[in-house]
Each structure stands twice: as C-alpha cells, then as structure tokens.
Structure 1
Amino acid sequence: MDYGVAEPERLGEARLPDGRLLGWAEWGPVDGIPVLVCPGAATSRWLGFGGGLVDAAAIRLISVDRPGLGASDRAPGRTLTDWATDIQHFVQQRALRDPLAVGFSQGAPFALALAASGLVKAVAVVSGSDELAHPRFADVLAPQVRDMVDAVAADPDAAMASFAGFGSADALWELVVTTGSEADRAVYTDAVFRHAFRRAMDEAFSQGPAGYARDTVLAMARWPFDPAGIAVPVDLWYGEQDTSPVHSPDLGASLARMIPMATRHLLPAAAGSLLWTHTEAVLRTLLSRVP
C-alpha cells in the first residue's frame, strides 16, 4: 500500500542568529502554502507524508529537525519556548508567510508551542503526546510512563541521562513495532514505509542520543504555556485503535476542552499511524481553517 512517504524534494540548513544550524526537508511546490512539520520521537526531517497530495493541494511541506537530531545543531538545555524562538527565526529567514503546522506524536507539544507563540495560523495534532505531567492524568498513566514523568519532575538531568542510555534507532524501532497495535504494525513494517522510517531514525541519532533524550524530557514535563491561551484553530486527530502509552491517555478529550478553538476527531478504525492512513482528511481540514 502507498502510505505517501517519498524522498524529500529539497534539503537544506538554515543558520540561526546564534550560529546554530537547523536542518530541513521539503516536499511540494516552493510557492505553496507552508506547512511546518514537527516529527515524532526519534525521527528526523527525512520522514514525510502526503505523497502526491501535497502537490495537488499546493502545499509546501517543511519538516524541521529539532536541535540535536539529524542535521540540526545541539542546544543544551533547550525548552519548548526556545523551539518557538528558533522557528520564528526560521520562518523569517525563509520568508514563510502565514505557515500552518502539523505535530505528530511527540512532535505535538512542539507544534502547540508554535501556536501558543502566535507563529502559525492553525495546527493539526495527529496521534499527539499530551501534557502527561498535568495533574489531570495523575491516576491514568501507564506505570512506565508515570515513572518517566516522576523521574523528570525529580531530577531532569538524571532523567535525561537515563533516556540517553536507552535511546538508539534500533531500540526505538523495536519499541514501535512491539507496542503498536496490529493496524500500526501493518503500516510500520510495510517495506517502503519501513525503509523511510528507519532512515529517518538513523539520521535522528547521527549525533548520538542527546537530542532524543532532551525531547523526551520536554515531553514528560509540564508545558511552559497554557493551552487555554492558544488563539488559533487546533484539530486533534486520534484513532481509537491507538495503543501507544505516550500519546494522549484520553485521546485528546480533555485537551480539546482546554483549547478554545479545538476540534477533536476520533476515528474508530484508525490507530496511531493515522498521519499516513488518513492524510487527505488531516491536510484538507487543516487548509480549511485558514480563510
């Protein structure tokens, strides 16, 4: 089956004011509507989505490596707020007018940080990680996730060292294929998709595990912004067959109530991989949010 993964059409690096580089990849027309992609955990700019749909919809899909992953330089101690500042410079440097954003899995809080900073006009959160450290989830997290959240709260540096000790492309791939639902395994083990996914993971760890470890600390900590202050449309996409313990424990239900302009889409037959199985609906809805 064609899940819409394809080689990037353009690759590059943008230099930030402090001298660091942000690596990026693009698909679709250069004069298309810019859609910034915040990839999932332990992946990089190489894993796109949408295939020919981005051309048909005149979308300029831009995936950006977070600091320390792939082609982006490290930024020790970075925060979600720092990410928004980096993207502000990126958008200005590349003259991206009125960008939109997609945040997949662990990329969700990074995409929402852009929305909270007023940098994007609308966001699609797809199988997104929620604010797992929020008190509303205190009694519902899976035990291993609860342990990670508690470890970050107690000692972020020690937690980051622990995550780095575990993090590798092989270890994370094994976790993905063993904990995912049957529907997700069908996608991730497809020969073409698997090649693209593994390539993105290998590049993500090309500088070592520190970037992944920092991302995980941020994903397991309290967010530095209030979702209630997000003033742009946010579509929350979840599949009822999603078995990931690090996505939203209530599949976005409480987050949808917190964000003023949120719309929750709960798909009974979909799983965590719905970014690739329901791409057209995600992109069509995202584009409809902008006049």
Structure 2
Amino acid sequence: MIKTLTAVLFIGFLAWVFQAIRPPPPRICGSPGGPPITGLRIKLRDGRYLAYKEHGVQKELAKYKVVLVHGFGSSRHEASIATAEAVQELGIYFVSFDRPGYGESDPDPKRSFRSVALDIEELADQLELGSKFYVIGFSMGGQVAWGCLKYIPQRLAGVALIAPVINYWWPGFPSNLSTEAYYRQFPEDQWALRVAHYAPWLIYWWNTQKFFPSSSVIAGRPKFSRKDIEHMSKLASRQSYMAYVTQQGEYESFHRDMMVAFGRCEFDPMDLKFPFADGKGSVHLWHGVEDGLVPVTLQRYIVEKLPWIHYHEIPDAGHLLTFDDDTKGAILKALFN
C-alpha cells in the first residue's frame, strides 16, 4: 500500500513538474483564436511570416537603405533613430521588423543568430533593397547585428551596433574580466542568466515561478542609469503597444531571446575578421559608460580585439542611447560618412 501510494505521489509530482516547465503553445497571428494581422508581412523560405514597417524617406528616393533590428521587449514600431533630423538630410530609408516570436512575426522554434541573419537577408531581398544594405541593431538587436557580420557579411554596406548585448560566456573574454562584469548585475539577473545558459529547458518556469525573483528586465525594473530614467518619458508612447510585443506569448519572445543571447555560444564575435571584401564599409559600436545592463568593460575589450571597429563611448550615457537626439544624429552621420 505504501509503495503504491509513493509511486502515485511520485508520478503526480513528475506530472506537476512537466506541466510547470512546459511553456504554453504560442498564439500564432491569424490562427483561430490568435491575434489579428494588422501590418505588412513577407513569407520566408520556411513558411514563416515576418512583419515589417517602413520609416524615413521613400525607398525609391533613398540614398541609404537600412534594416533596423529592435531590442528586448520592443517591436517594429520602435524606430526612434528614424526620427533624427539627419534622416531627411542624408536621405535614409529604414525598414524595421518584428523579430521571430514578437508582434506579428511567427515564432521560430529553431531561432539562432544564423536564422535571424538569413531572415534579414530575405527581408532585404523581397523588399528589393539591393545587393548591399546597412544594419543598425540596438541592445538585443545589436547582438543580432553580430550575427549579420558573421553570416551575411557579403550583403552589408555598413553596421551600427548600439549598446549591443553581450554573452558572458563568449570564450574570447578573459575569465576574470567577464566574471567581474557578471557579478555587477543584479543577483536576480545573475540567476536568470545562469538558467538561460546552463538549463534553457527551465527558462519558462524560472521566469514565471513566484519563489525567487526572476529577470529584472522582464519584471520591468532594469538597472537603468540616471540618464536612462530621464529618457523614460520618451518611452511612454510605447505602453500603447506593449501588449502587441508579447501577444503570441512571452516564451517565444522574451524567453527565447534569453536562450539565444546567453545560451550556447554559436560563435565568438571576437573571432570575426574585417567583413568587407572590397574594403568599402564600416562597423561602428556605440556604448554608454553608465550602461547598467551591458557592462562597458566588456565592450572595450571586444573593440580592442577588433581594431577595425569604430568605437564611440559616451561618458554620461546609459543604455537608451537611441532616445537622445544628439546621439542618434551622430550615429547616422558616422555610419554614412
């Protein structure tokens, strides 16, 4: 009797564990009961759909064509850099897109740096941006831009990485440097990153359980600087579409972002070579000294290893660089100089 009861309890416990760690299926846009399709989309090579939005000058009149890659918790609607005065002056066309699992872009259960880089290449081809185009990535989108430098360098005319997220486990970092930077994060973020790296199958449970604090970024209390807090008023308009960002589920947007960004190292950016075979093109990396989300010490080390990157460090800036009017104008003028 006791053995039977123990077996029943054990099976019940396993069932509870399985249910707790198993993420719910995504609510695919356009499917029965799923969110509606409201914007422009293209169909990708594997049948997925990618939603996009155009900004800046008309494509037919543009001198420069740019693919914008949004950050964590954002979408194609976020294109603050496209509001810079320099956009009309320089003649820049932008296309932003919902990264897989965000907004109205279908989730990609096989999402990787390579797959998103190929999504960007296909978006550029279907929109006829030409043989070469520019990429600007902010925060998590900056990490995606590293993937473009790795997998589609032949398609790039230039790249701007703005406060790009780093992976503390990239092998090129000296262990003492990455460890020191890692422990400067909030304790709850240290644990969230450990889970994303060592036990990604637990990421859904970790970010939804109530026993311990989960990611501060997902919880809406990131380590912002004084300057970032000043910019927060400019983010007020984002609240109207925050539900849109995760409408297909947080697992395929937020949680998978963490697994890709901090999981197994698909490649090490510090191993990259100068990406422009014809010698034409430039890569710029912008970072704020007061950035509390991405340690400036690690960015400094990366650009020391990659001297072909033009590094721009802003002494009093935090993470939200693209919301500063002077900075976003400087970013564009440097990239298209």
The equivalences for 1:85-124 within 5 A come to: 85-97=118-130, 98-117=132-151, 118=153, 119-124=155-160
Q: Which amino acid aligns with 1:116?
A: K
Partner of 1:175: 221
Per the TM alignment, residue 165 of structure 1 is displaced from its structure 2 partner at its CA by 6.2
Shift in CA distance, 160/236, structure 1 to aligned 2, threshold 3 Å: farther
Contact 1:108 1:130 in 2 (8 A): no
Q: Which amino acid aligns with 2:328?
A: T
Shift in CA distance, 259/148, structure 1 to aligned 2, threshold 3 Å: farther
Shift in CA distance, 94/223, structure 1 to aligned 2, threshold 3 Å: farther
Per the TM alignment, residue 120 of structure 1 is displaced from its structure 2 partner at its CA by 2.1
Per the TM alignment, residue 222 of structure 1 is displaced from its structure 2 partner at its CA by 4.3
Partner of 1:35: 66
Identify which of 111, 135, 144 aligns with 2:188.
144
For structure 2, the residue ranges without an aligned partner over 5 or more in a row are 1-37, 211-215, 276-281
Shift in CA distance, 165/11, structure 1 to aligned 2, threshold 3 Å: farther
4+ aligned runs moved over 6 Å, structure 1: none
Shift in CA distance, 230/101, structure 1 to aligned 2, threshold 3 Å: farther
The equivalences for 1:198-237 within 5 A come to: 198-210=239-251, 211-227=253-269, 228-232=271-275, 233-237=282-286
Partner of 1:6: none
Percent identity over paired residues: 24
Q: SS of the counterpart of 2:79?
A: coil
Per the TM alignment, residue 172 of structure 1 is displaced from its structure 2 partner at its CA by 3.8
Contact 2:193 2:258 in 1 (8 A): no
Which range is displaced more, 253-262 or 130-139?
130-139
Contact 2:67 2:96 in 1 (8 A): yes
Identify which of 304, 307, 310 aligns with 1:263.
310
Shift in CA distance, 174/188, structure 1 to aligned 2, threshold 3 Å: same
The equivalences for 1:121-132 within 5 A come to: 121-132=157-168
**Counterpart check, 1:48 vs 2:90:** no
Max Rg structure: 2
Contact 2:181 2:298 in 1 (8 A): no
Q: Which amino acid aligns with 1:45?
A: R
Shift in CA distance, 41/200, structure 1 to aligned 2, threshold 3 Å: farther
Partner of 2:25: none
**Counterpart check, 1:273 vs 2:307:** no
Shift in CA distance, 280/185, structure 1 to aligned 2, threshold 3 Å: same
1:47-98, CA deviations, whole angstroms, 9 ceiling, x for partnerless residues? 1123143222211111111111011001113111111121222122111121
1:140-174, CA deviations, whole angstroms, 9 ceiling, x for partnerless residues? 212434323322232212124434669xxx97473
In structure 2, how many angstroms separate the alpha carbons of the residues matched to 1:152 and 1:172? Answer: 13
Per the TM alignment, residue 249 of structure 1 is displaced from its structure 2 partner at its CA by 4.7
Per the TM alignment, residue 251 of structure 1 is displaced from its structure 2 partner at its CA by 5.5
Shift in CA distance, 148/249, structure 1 to aligned 2, threshold 3 Å: farther
In structure 2, how many angstroms separate the alpha carbons of the residues matched to 1:163 and 1:26? Answer: 33
In structure 2, how many angstroms separate the alpha carbons of the residues matched to 1:171 and 1:252? Answer: 20
Q: Would you say how many aligned residue pairs link Structure 1 and Structure 2?
A: 270
Which range is displaced more, 129-138 or 40-49?
129-138
Shift in CA distance, 61/252, structure 1 to aligned 2, threshold 3 Å: same
In structure 2, how many angstroms separate the alpha carbons of the residues matched to 1:27 and 1:55? Answer: 11
Contact 2:197 2:259 in 1 (8 A): no
In structure 2, how many angstroms separate the alpha carbons of the residues matched to 1:129 and 1:248? Answer: 9
Q: Which amino acid aligns with 2:200?
A: P
**Counterpart check, 1:20 vs 2:20:** no
Partner of 2:198: 154
Shift in CA distance, 188/251, structure 1 to aligned 2, threshold 3 Å: farther
Per the TM alignment, residue 231 of structure 1 is displaced from its structure 2 partner at its CA by 2.5
TM-score (norm 2): 0.73
Shift in CA distance, 230/91, structure 1 to aligned 2, threshold 3 Å: farther
In structure 2, how many angstroms separate the alpha carbons of the residues matched to 1:57 and 1:251? Answer: 32
Per the TM alignment, residue 181 of structure 1 is displaced from its structure 2 partner at its CA by 1.5
Shift in CA distance, 259/145, structure 1 to aligned 2, threshold 3 Å: farther
